[in-house]
Every structure is written in C-alpha cells, then in structure tokens.
Chain A
Amino acid sequence: IAGITQAPTSQILAAGRRMTLRCTQDMRHNAMYWYRQDLGLGLRLIHYSNTAGTTGKGEVPDGYSVSRANTDDFPLTLASAVPSQTSVYFCASSRDRYSSYNEQFFGPGTRLTVL
C-alpha cells in the first residue's frame, strides 16, 4: 500500500442500516480526518483524530462516530443511516495536526447512497 486506502468504493444502503466506512494509511501520519463532499457545499470536516486513541468533532459530526485504535486505521460509522448522509466521503491524513504546516493527503473516497 502506498498512501491511503478506503473501502468500499461505493455503497447503496437502506435508511436505518448501520454502516462502517474503512480508512487505512501507511504513511505513519499522526493525524487523520473524515470529510464529506456535497455539490454546492464543498468539503466539510466530520471528525478528526490527532493521534491514536484520540478523536474530535468537526463541522458536521451528528450521526457519525469514529474510533482510532491504532495509527493506521480510522473507521467512520453511521449508526443509523439517513438519506441526508448520501455523499462522497473522503478520508485524509497529515503528519500531525498541531502544526499549521499540515499538508493533508486524501484517500480515493467512498460514494455512499442512502435510500
């Protein structure tokens, strides 16, 4: 692996179902992020993690949860999906979060449709 991988690539999900989007990075970056991208709204931060064992809320955290058990993995869980969570989800990572010079690198994305 080189960089960030996300799975699945795309998913159609019935409303009310639970879904976990997976994200793995092999760059040994401390910080990881989940964004959603919607037409006309741009990229919005859902949750972030400064380092393994810590997580924080971004701009649009409601309906989502994350965990960071180790450096490499940062799964995003939708406990009970709703149609408004239809979006493209991007995982990103950076060397660390505390520095302003934190170039973020993005995974390929997961296209999620909730019906």
Chain B
Amino acid sequence: QKEVEQNSGPLSVPEGAIASLNCTYSDRGSQSFFWYRQYSGKSPELIMFIYSNGDKEDGRFTAQLNKASQYVSLLIRDSQPSDSATYLCAVSRYSTLTFGKGTMLLVSP
C-alpha cells in the first residue's frame, strides 16, 4: 500500500513568515512529486512539481526533495493571508498519483 503522509495541521504562521509544509512517502520507487493548493470549496491547483533531489524555486515557493529520506517539503516565503489553504502532497510512480490528505495552512495578518 503506497502511502503519503502529511500533518493535517492547522499550521499557523504570521504574515511575512516562512511556512514549511512536510510530506513523507512510503514507495521508494516514486519518481515525481507534486504540491497542490486547495482553497476551501475549490478544486486542487498545481503549484509545484519536482523530479530530482534538491531544491526547486518558483517565486515565493521552494520545493525540496530528499529521495534517500523519502521526504518532500514545500516552503512558502513571505507568507500572505491569501496563502491560507490546504496543501496536498502527491507522489507518482509511473502512472499512479497518490495524494496525501493535506495540511491546512493559516496565515494570520
């Protein structure tokens, strides 16, 4: 059974701080890793993907991957109240995408 684990939260951070969201996965053969943002009542929106060990930066977002530790994280710099949402980690091996249950992030003004 492939598993993707996330802390359900909520993770509360003040505006302007760095939010760190973490995800672990069980399938050592996983090849690609995705972060989706989901606002309440809305659909998941792809915000980052990473395929290789290390960091990948896109604006205020940085995805970090450590395949040896089976760990992927998402850092959000200069957090804004508009970043308040649930963040879903998803892991893929070949064609199957497995989602974690998500971490709720609350950014307070």
Contacts and interface: CB of A to CB of B under 8 A. Distances in A.
Interface of A: 31, 40-43, 45, 50, 90, 97-109
Contacts of B69: none
B46 interface: yes
Contact of B43 (A45, A90, A99): A90
Contacts of A108: 42-43
Main secondary structure of the interface of B (DSSP, over half): strand
Contacts of A45: 96-97
Which 8 A-B pairs give the minimum distances between C-beta atoms? A100-B31, A42-B101, A106-B43, A43-B99, A97-B95, A100-B32, A106-B44, A109-B43
Contacts of B99: 42-43
Contacts of A90: 43-44
Main secondary structure of the interface of A (DSSP, over half): loop
Contacts of B49: 101, 103
Given A102-B97, A106-B45, 8 more contacts: A43-B44, A43-B88, A45-B97, A97-B95, A98-B95, A101-B49, A102-B95, A106-B43
Nearest to B29: A100
A101 B32 contact: yes
B94 A103 contact: no
Nearest to A96: B95
A105 B43 CA distance: 9
